[in-house]
Each structure stands twice: as structure tokens, then as C-alpha cells.
Chain A
Amino acid sequence: MTDETRDATMSIWRGTKTGGRFETYTVPMVEGMVVLDVIHRIQALRAPDLAVRWNCKAGKCGSCSAEINGHARLLCMTRMNTFAPGEEITVSPMKTFPIIKDLVTDVSFNYEKAKEIPAFKPKPKEADGTRRMYQEDIDRVQEFHKCIECFLCQDTCHVIRDHEENKKAFAGPRFFVRLAALEMHPLDTNDRLELIRQKAGLGFCNITKCCTEVCPEDIHITDNAIIPLKERIVTEFYDPLAWVKRRVLSKGAQQPGPGEPEPPSAKA
């Protein structure tokens, strides 16, 4: 494929929290370009103050998240040759987060949620002073550690995408992955199940797998992180034997309080 002479035409949302509109730009293209390359050319040639976040340009840092023709994507990993010649291309900011300017949104929601997760707390070392873990025991958790925090899963999750009011009591798929990574870490001793059930709002998720579909790292968010966490909650809180054990052994344990959303998984 040579497209040395082709022009790229792209409509990009320009504006701030007080309003904005799509502007259309046309710039020359060279072979192999991704959407972010075209945006950089637009900055250099047409719109020097066009705001966009980016860093690595290789799908490793998760900075350039946006919506391309309505789909949550990384700008740096979306090749221009995936569009048919003449196909309209629109680029807009992530919808779930407040707009700062153009393609840049306020993602501080995610950094605040991260603070609420209790830290990793390892068990004591082996008798010989080492930490022994076997590859097969960490494969699953290493999958979760692939997360580049692009927040595309958060953007696409309908629990918060269309319901601002849910943000307070819902951590979102990125942090279910984080919580699963901690819960399944062979060395960790902290108990976060109460947090997962209550404050992180795992019950809001009805496993439509939208997050899994948009993950640029191919993390199986729903199957490998969310569903196993739901299963742990069911066992811990709704299994009668485990419930009695908790009542007897742990005074701080809570039952579902009045007025709290009942996790759907509890009824399963």
C-alpha cells in the first residue's frame, strides 16, 4: 500500500467545558500513519493550540485515549489504513470524563479511586529469606499487571458513562482489575472484599463485557477479574456457613446495610 499522495481529512472536537464543535482539517499523509500522526500534523500545519495527550506513541503508556468514530481507542494504535478511502473520521474526547479542552479530559476520577484501594501487604518471607513464587501461580496476576491505565474501559463502562451519579460508589473496570490483581497476588494478606462489595460497587456491573472489548492490552477484564471477584463475594458474604463464621470470628464484619444496592450476583 502506498498512500504518499493521499490526504487525510479528519473532524476533531474542539472546545472546552463551556461548549465546542467539530472542526474539519485536511493534511497530507505518508505511509503507515496512525490517527495520532495526523493530529500532530494538524497541530503543526493548521491548529497549533489543538490539545491532545500523548507520550510513548507505541501503545505502552495509555495517554492518548479518545473516541474515534464513537469507539474508545488509543490514537497511537489506530492505523489510518483501517479506514476506507473517503471514510469520514471523527475524533472526540472520552465521554465519561469532564472535558478540559479539545481531546483532553479530566481523568482525576481514576486517580482518586486508586487512593481508596488498600495497599499491598505481603506475608512473611520464606525461612531462607527469599520470596518463592512459581510462574503458573502468577500468570493470571501478570495479565492484570499489563494494564496501561488508558481508562478506555472506564470510558466505555455504561455504569458511569451515562450515570454521573454512580461514580461515587463505583470504582470501574480498571480498578476491578487492580483489586483482582491484589486479591490473587500469592503474597498479599490484605482483605479488600468488603470494599469491593460496598464502596467499589462491584454489584453494579452486569457483565456486558464492554470493557473487555475495548482493552488495548487484551486483558480479559470480565472473565478473569470481575467474575472471579463476584464469586468470592458470594462465597464470603452469602454462603451461610461462611456468614456464621464471619459473625463469630470477626466483630467488625458487616452485613449488607439498609438502603445499599444488593449486588446482583448475590441473587444468582
Chain B
Amino acid sequence: MSKEGIERHDYDVIVVGAGGAGLRAAIEASAAGAHTALICKSLLGKAHTVMAEGGIAAALGNVWKEDNWRVHFRDTMRGGKLLNNWRMAQLHAQEAPDRVLELEEWGALFDRTSDGLILQRDFGGHRYARLAHVGDRTGLEMIRILQQHAVHKGIDVYMECTLQRLLTDGGKIAGAFGYWRESGKFVLFGARAVVLATGGGGKAWKITSNSWEYTGDGIAMALDAGTDLIDMEMVQFHPTGMVWPPSVRGLLVTEGVRGDGGMLTNNEGKRFMFDYIPEFFRADTAENEREADAWYEDKKNNRRTPDLLPRDEVARAINTEVKAGRGTPHGGVYLDIASRRSPEFIKKRLPSMYQQFKQLADVDITTTAMEIGPTCHYFMGGVRVEPETAAATVPGLFAAGEVAAGMHGANRLGGNSLSDLLVFGRRAGAGAAAYASRTNARAVDDAQVEAAARSMLAPFDGEGTENPYALHAELQETMQRLVGIIRTEAELQQAIATLDVLGERVDRVTVEGNRQFNPGWHLALDLRSMITVSKACARSALMRQESRGGHTRDDYQKADPEWGKKNVVTRKRGGQLELATEPLPQIPEELRQLVLAEEKQPA
């Protein structure tokens, strides 16, 4: 294979992934004067950000003037069970309002308060109604506004282009290499800096809200390039995914349903969440139904409904109810807004949920309770970054959004993802542009390119026996069954052994047809990343001998204060994964007091 035949482009900064974080990073890098390209696996505007429903968390204080960045910071840290990188959580809470207002400057139209400002809605784990939103299609508004803004900034966009390797020179980023989905031909990007904005890897689980794209490519590429990952055991299972019919199992049901008054009940009609209020949140949570219902209107004299505890708590509670035989006919629990709000209110506030259930499940949510259950949703873990610039541990590499780690700790609050994309997308774009401006272009190593090209074409050799679709199904079964919401040492050991075998079998995958738009081949390549991130997840989960946030161990059911001071770090050295624990960055005393302070009890 001669590199003369490979299409090549050179940039100061390339951004990989065109969801909210990637678009925001590209806009910022370009504005800073960097020659910038945006590269994405799908068409522009189709990334997972478009699926985000409920809103963008930002302490604008439009609905509750008592809200400010300190309250948002406290909620975020407590939601993350204090495993968060405190500086990221601080920057996020401080900058989110400006990032939301900036979207308005670019044409976004959020729902309004009666005095003409941006309306904010309640969400899990947030003290005040804080989420700027557009009905239940906030992500669509955000991605379209960013996309339209980016179009006029002279950013080159490479759509349906999948990157497979980061190229390095002397341990620094030199570019990236991949293929065009349409033609299957290779493409090489020389770049001084690379921003990863590739999202997570939820497609490795069977019941998932993630689309085909979320295969952990960015995480796997970063690992191969020598960067550190942290918190890979921390996977969020969103409490409310559809459970019926089977073809839509896992599809997301927005937390906005509960934010707007919906309640969870079991098959006895009981509001079971009152039985699952953990000590950590007891002082912040309503004691009874009267207080919970009054909280929606009067937050000064009442505490938050337990239906809006952080997602990890709610997902575990649902899991327990179903296992105890108190679930619905299709193995979920009920989410009821029909008996709580008027049909007009529901259709106005939750139009796409109304359509989704009507069209895909023949359920009218204005008259009937939904059946819902947990679904794999979000990676809190990923690439370790430095808070101010989003720089990874490999020089020239930056990461923002779901692919990056630290911001959300052990559990992400709803609404904090869209704000994370904006805050750290912008910081990563600025960081990458600044790095590129003080760095010379590095040489591309032909040997790295040739090795990657050979490996990518291996499935066409015709010597293998494995079918990529069947192997993917096995991987999803394994992760669902053994690395799910509740974990044990024995099951994690079994998962690791199975993943090792799957890792060998993926080398024997064979694909039919040619390189032109061939989904079987694309999946064969994506599977390698999925297996890599699955291994990092299972091994990190085995290491952390406690329960915290998205990581629950049946054999270590309590949070352990010692483990609360440590991140699990994953690296790849000599082709092998290596795991270690390292201390969390030390939070300043003033901020620690803010986090630990108890809320005032109602009179």
C-alpha cells in the first residue's frame, strides 16, 4: 500500500464528531483563527445531541432568582457522589448561563417565561427549575443552531467519514487516519491538534438509548495513542427507557416527564420512590406525597419529590421493584403523567413523547401511564482532561463532551450534558487552537498509516468465520447481563473472560461485498472499539470495590470514603490495558463546605 494513493488534507485543528461538543469546539477553534475541519460519521445534524430532550442546565435565575452557580455546582457535585473533578464542575456551573445566552444570539428560540425571558424546567437532582428548553426537543434546537452558525464560519466539514487511528510523532499528535463511508477509500488528516468529541460507547449494551454511532471510537483511539482514561466503570443507566414493544426497548423517555409532574408507581399503585431515599439526599428530599406535590409550585417551603432523585438512585429503585415482582406486565414500572396533568399541558410540554408513544407503542400518554425501565445511556468516564483547556494527557489531543471524563463524577445530572457540551466544547476548541498556534506540524509516520490500513482491510481477506452482526449481539448480551446496573465480582470476572474471547474472535470477522457503503464492514471495525471500551469498563468495575453513582456492586453495597478519594485510571502500554488508582484533585475547602452544607429544613 503506497501512501501516494491516499487522499490527504492538512489542518491546524481537526474536530472529530459533530454533536454539540464538536460543533462548539470547531466554531471556537475557527474563531481563534485556526484552519479547522469537522469530521463526522453521520450526516451533519444527526449526532446524538439531536436526541436530547429535556433541556440545558444553567443557573440563569429566570424562574427562581435564588439560583446561582454555587447551587448548580453543589447539585452537580452531590449528584456525582463527589467523584467529580471539582474544577470542571465549577467552570461548568459558572459558564453555562453565558453559553445558553450565546445560543440565543445565534438564533435559538427557547420557550419563554411570562416576562419574555428563557423559561426553565425542573429536572432530577437540581434544586431549582434550571433547564432552558424547547418543549422536549431541546437537543434538536441546539444542534441546528450550532450547525447553521458553523456553516457560515468557513469550517470544512467531512461528513460520513470515520476515523480509526490517531497518528503520533514522538508522543505528540500528528493527525488522524480513517475512511469515507461512502466509497470505503482511505483518508488522512495531518493536524497539529485533534479535538475528540465522539461521544460514548453505549452501543455495547443490548438495552440502550444509543444509536449505531456510539461505539467508543474516540475512547479507543485515545487509548491507543497513549492517553489516560478515568472512571470507565461509571456508566449511566437512564431510569426511563421504553420497555414495550420489543423493537423500541431502550428508547429514551425524557426526565422532563417527571420534571413536569409525572410520577413513578409500581403494579400496586404505590409511589415507591419514597422507600428509596438515601441518607445522602434525605435532607433535600420530600418526606411524603403532599410535600412532593407541593414542591412543584413552592420550592421555598417544600423539598424535591423523590421521583426526581438523581438518575442512578431512580434506576436502581426501578430495578429492585421489578426484581421483587412489583413491575408491569412487560418488566418495567409505570410513569404516569396522565392522571396528574391536563392533555393540553402534556401535548404542549412533551410533544415528541406524545408522538413517540402514540406512533411506536399505540399508547396515549395523556390518558394512560407509560411502562418504562432503565436503559444504558451515558458514559461518565472517558478521556482524562485538564479542566481549563480540555487537554488530554497526550500533547495535541483534546476532548470534550461525553468522550471526556471528570465533569460528572460517578453520575451525571440530567440537563448537565448539553451545558457540558457547550462549556467544554468551547474550551477544547480554544485550547486546541492555542496549542496549534505554538506548535509546528508534526511528521506523519507512514508505518502507522500502513499498519492501520492493513488492519482495517483485514475483514475482506475472506479467511475469517465470524459474522459482525452476530458478534455484536453476543457483546451486547454479555455487557447487559454481566456489566449492568448491579455488578458482582464473579460476574465481572466472567465478563472479562468473555470479552477476552470476543477480542480474539473479532480478528476473525469476515465481511461480504466491497468497500462501498458497507455496513457489515463498518460494524466489523466499530466492534473493535466497542470491545476495547467494554474491557476498560469491566476491569475498572472489578477494581472499584464499593458502590457509588453509576457503579453498584452487590458485593460492596456501601460507598467507601477511601474509594471516594480515588479515580480508577486505565492506560494501554505494550498493547495491554493497565489499571491503577490515583487520587482525585483536591477540592478547595471553601467549595467543599458548599457541597457538604445541608439545605435548610422546611419550617
Contact = CB atoms under 8 A, between A and B. Distances in A.
Contact of A50 (B45, B112, B246, B519): B519
Contacts of B473: 44
Interface residues of A, number: 57
Interface string A110-147: 01001100011010000000111111001001100111
A120 B107 contact: yes
Q: B355, B514, B519, B521 — which one has the most chain A CB atoms within 10 A of its CB?
A: B519
Q: B245, B352, B511 — which one has the most chain A CB atoms within 10 A of its CB?
A: B245
Contacts, number: 162
A3 to B, nearest CB: 10
Interface stretch (A55-63, A154-162, A224-232): A55-63
A61 B105 contact: no
Interface string B447-475: 00000000000000000000111100100
A134 B141 CA distance: 18
Nearest to A182: B107
B531 to A, nearest CB: 18
A104 B160 CA distance: 12
A37 B247 contact: yes
Interface string A231-258: 0000000000000000000000000000
A135 B247 contact: no
A56 B513 contact: no
B353 to A, nearest CB: 10
B108 to A, nearest CB: 8
Nearest to A135: B112
A187 B101 CA distance: 14
A54 interface: yes
A149 interface: yes
A16 B468 contact: no
Contacts of A182: 107
Interface string B171-215: 000000000001000000000000000000000000000011100
A45 B520 CA distance: 11
A188 B152 CA distance: 16
A115 B470 CA distance: 42
B601 to A, nearest CB: 35
A31 interface: yes
A102 B182 CA distance: 11
A79 interface: yes
Contact of B141 (A114, A115, A145): A145
Given A48-B469, A49-B513, A132-B116, A145 B134 contact: yes
A50 B518 CA distance: 7
Contact of A54 (B101, B152, B211, B245): B211
Contact of B148 (A34, A54, A120): A120
Given A62-B46, A111-B44, A134 B245 contact: no
B512 A142 contact: no
Interface stretch (B218-226, B263-271, B356-364, B486-494): B356-364
Contact of B140 (A60, A100, A114, A130): A60
Interface in B99-137: 101, 104-107, 109, 111-112, 115-117, 134-135, 137
A111 B107 CA distance: 19
A182 B107 CA distance: 8
A57 B359 CA distance: 12
B345 interface: no
B221 to A, nearest CB: 21
Contacts of B151: 114-115, 119
A264 interface: no
Given A31-B245, A61-B50, A114-B151, A49 B360 contact: no
A77 B355 CA distance: 10
Contact of A44 (B42, B43, B470): B470
A53 B213 CA distance: 11
Contacts of A132: 115-117
A115 to B, nearest CB: 6
Interface in B476-522: 511-514, 516-521
Contacts of A107: 43
A34 B152 CA distance: 37
Contact of A79 (B117, B359, B467, B513): B359
A37 B251 CA distance: 13
A148 B140 contact: yes
A54 B469 contact: no
B51 A185 contact: no
A61 B360 contact: no
A237 to B, nearest CB: 26
Contacts of B70: none
Contacts of A193: none
A43 B519 contact: yes
Interface string B76-120: 000000000000000000000000010011110101100111000
A32 B247 contact: yes
A32 B361 contact: yes
B426 interface: no
Contact of B182 (A79, A100, A141): A100
B378 interface: no
Contacts of A60: 50-51, 137, 140, 352
Contacts of A49: 511-514, 518-521
7 contacts: A30-B247, A44-B470, A50-B519, A54-B211, A59-B356, A132-B115, A134-B112
Q: Which 4 A-B pairs have the closest CB atoms?
A: A32-B245, A49-B513, A132-B116, A48-B520
Given A32-B361, A55-B50, 5 more contacts: A43-B519, A60-B137, A101-B517, A133-B112, A134-B112
Interface of B: 42-48, 50-51, 101, 104-107, 109, 111-112, 115-117, 134-135, 137, 140-141, 144, 148-149, 151-152, 157, 159, 182, 211-213, 244-248, 251-252, 352, 355-356, 359-361, 467-470, 473, 511-514, 516-521
